Structure 1
Amino acid sequence: MSQRPITLPEQLADAALQRFGESLRIPPDLPGADELLRMLTHSSHRKWASQAVAPDLLQVLFACALSAPSKSDLQQADIVHVAERSRIKAIADWIPDMPWINDAPVFLVFCANNLRIRQIGQWRDKPFVNDHLDHFMNAAVDAGIVMSQFIRAAEAVGLVTVP
């Protein structure tokens, strides 16, 4: 006697139960259920495959990440790809509680950057009148959104990540 395959809504409900201890009612015709299941079953990884990530693939992932929505449409985030092993080791040495950094085949730093909006104002001879904490917070939010979008893109192609 063969069992019927588990439907995506059933998988979503089970994933929610496993993660949150609560069952969710999932509509049977929920659009995007496969993507929602991928998001709901996400977990961080601290062990990596030893193979490098192809530079062309990284470029695609960067493009996807930087296509994320941004706070106030200011796009105040940058991705720094730290490729030199000695620099990665130096960073890992600063953070002894995260030794897995040293073994990561790719190490990225997601940076808030509100300098760009200031530069645009300078180029257009416009004063930067909003020099307050809100701009720092907007840039920090943008960096977080870009990092989240990068993680989703990386997982979509089968890579594992940890922020």
Structure 2
Amino acid sequence: MTTANETIERLLRHRSVRRFTDEPVGRERLELIIRSAQMASTSSNMQAYSVIAVDDPDKRCQIAEWAGGQRHVEQAPVFLVWCADLYRFGEAVRMYGGSFEPTLEYFIVSTVDAALAAQNAAVAAESLGLGIVYIGGIRNRLSDVAELLQVPPLVYPVFGMCIGVPADDPDIRPRLPLEAVLHREAYDAAGQEAYIRQYDETYRQYAAGRKGGTKQTTWSRDMEARTRYPSRRHGEVLRRQGFRFEE
């Protein structure tokens, strides 16, 4: 699919990059990326997120290990940790003598705010000729990452992000059929199996034909396998950070 719209073309060419050159991103480009992130939509202008740029090699090495040995966390020119942040909101409320209960709704708001801002950053980075990859693996050791980065109460690390000049050109991973995700008027549960089977064939061809790839699999097979991964348990850590989920 091609369009005359440069922004849409860039979005359609997105891929995760895990190998980077040694070229620095530089302060100016990084600040442009974060300023772009700040213009993302945010619930009630709460801006309930923060970003921690981690440069210290020892911290990077430790986070890479906790994230499952992802070496690009160490090697990328920039590594950011995106945090849901209600601490700053609480400080603003207290300045006027108020208080708030960090309920599940606030937790959702702050997590969504962080994700929206990060995606703005990803698009901005790619528009500058850079590549990115999200690092959800930091949640393998959520408590340890929170302690390492000294986050205050009502803040938790949601995911990391590596940024740099791509050192390779990864294949674009195909997505589900549009009809599987775009529903009209009501959710189309009856059609999902057919869309999955259609996508499985597309995915099988992608997995077998990708650069250096010989893997014979389908999307549904990979998703079933994913359910057998050890599940991350975050309730205790988040409660310790001050979030409350009782409604």
TM-score (norm 2): 0.52
The 4+ residue runs of structure 1 with deviation greater than 6 A are none
The size of the alignment, in residue pairs, is 134
3-state secondary structure, aligned to 2:10: helix
Map of 1:156 onto structure 2: 127
Matched, 1:73 2:64: no
Q: Deviations over 1:102-121 (max 9, x none)?
A: 21111000000011211111
CA deviation after TM superposition for structure 1 residue 71, in Å: 2.2
Instruction: Name the aligned partner's letter for residue 106 of structure 2.
Output: H
Q: 2: distance between equivalents of 1:41 and 1:63? A: 23
The within-5 A match list for 1:78-117 is 78-117=50-89
Map of 1:11 onto structure 2: 2
- Distance change >3 Å, CA 131–CA 96, structure 1 → 2: closer
Map of 2:244 onto structure 1: none
Q: Deviations over 1:21-47 (max 9, x none)?
A: xxxxxxxxx7xx221111011111111
Q: 2: distance between equivalents of 1:87 and 1:131? A: 29
Map of 2:105 onto structure 1: 134
Q: 2: distance between equivalents of 1:95 and 1:127? A: 35
Map of 2:225 onto structure 1: none
Cα RMSD (Å) of the superposition? 1.5
CA deviation after TM superposition for structure 1 residue 142, in Å: 0.5
Percentage of identical aligned residues: 27
CA deviation after TM superposition for structure 1 residue 87, in Å: 0.9
CA deviation after TM superposition for structure 1 residue 53, in Å: 1.1
TM-score (norm 1): 0.77
CA deviation after TM superposition for structure 1 residue 96, in Å: 2.1
Map of 1:120 onto structure 2: 92
3-state secondary structure, aligned to 2:131: coil
3-state secondary structure, aligned to 2:82: strand
Map of 2:212 onto structure 1: none
| Unaligned residue ranges in structure 1 (runs of 5+) | 1-9, 13-29
3-state secondary structure, aligned to 1:127: coil
Q: 1: distance between equivalents of 2:69 and 2:43? A: 31
